[in-house]
Amino acid sequence: MAEPRPVVSSAHLAAGASPGLSEVEYGLILAGHAFQRWMVLCAAAAGAAGLSPVEVLILHTVHHRGRAKRQAEILLALGIEDAHIATYAIRKLDAAGLVATSRQGKEKLVSATPAGAAFCAHYAEVRERLLAGAVRDSGPPAAALSELAGLLRALSGFYDQASRAAATL
């Protein structure tokens, strides 16, 4: 029986020191696109059609723990380097009535409005009904998901470090 070949998007990248890394990258590509598509469509089902994936992420981050967040906290939590992306998203969410902004000294604070909190609750309901139950019933066990999450966070550190090194070449 032939050994299974790795599933990769670019054979030339799988030929190097870590073919498995190329498999992971292809999985990240597929998972990233599927996750972004899911966020947009779940947001639409929850009553906020037209939000981008970044806007959905920012709204959930702002709503997290029910307290206002500084823009710098949002950028750090989501790993967004370009502040303009977050600024534009926050403006759009503010115009939609889902967040409110205020100032604390020089810093901009962003908080979820009651409409934003209601959207987050409805999004969570749709997520439970359409996604979480299916993953619980047919997907990997919770322990494997937690282990995968830790692995992805660790890999993100390698990619961040390699990015910094690449920027100096």
Count structural domains, the chain.
1
Distance CA 126, CA 121 (A): 9
CA 32/CA 17 separation, integer angstroms: 24
CATH assignment at residue 127:
1.10.10.10
Instruction: Name residue 37's beta-bridge partners.
Output: none
CA distance 24 to 118: 36
| pLDDT of the residue at 7 | 77
Domain membership of residue 54 (yes or no) is: yes
The verdict on residue 161 lying in a domain is: no
Positions of the chain with pLDDT lower than 70, given as ranges: none
139-165 pLDDT tens trace: 999 999 999 999 999 999 999 999 999
